[in-house]
Amino acid sequence: MKDKVKTPTIPHGFHSSWAQYTIALNDKEQRETVQATLNAQGIPSRVYYPKPMHAQQAFESNTYDGSCPVTEKLCSTVLALPMHPYLKEEQVELVASTLLKAL
């Protein structure tokens, strides 16, 4: 599975509040498939930044005219999964098993 999805890591000695739990998939098509599979099971997911910051209207007057290949790739491959303090263990298991099936 490691070659199909990249999960967040927390460096030793740090903690996360998990405001978002974002996974990185291999490509946009895989992300769309995973998101559709989750949606079919009633599991919400979200693409928070479908357009890279440097390509957004607010930055159109920016003098930078190059590309940001890592940012551009991430904007087309990442997907945020449900994460909040009231998520029950069985809900986590449903998200995980549905994700595994989609991959």
Is it the case that residue 41 has pLDDT exceeding 90? yes
Q: Let me know if domain 5-102 sits in CATH 3.90.1150.10.
A: yes
Indicate the domain borders of the chain. Answer: 5-102
Max mean pLDDT among 17-21, 41-45, 60-64 falls in 41-45
CB distance 37 to 101 below 8 Å: yes
What pLDDT does 62 receive? Answer: 76
Residues of the chain with pLDDT > 90, as a percent, come to: 61
User: Quick one: average pLDDT of 29-35?
Assistant: 96
**pTM score, two decimals?**
0.84
Burial class of residue 22 in the structure, from the number of CB atoms within 10 Å of its CB (0-12 exposed, 13-18 middle, 19+ buried): buried
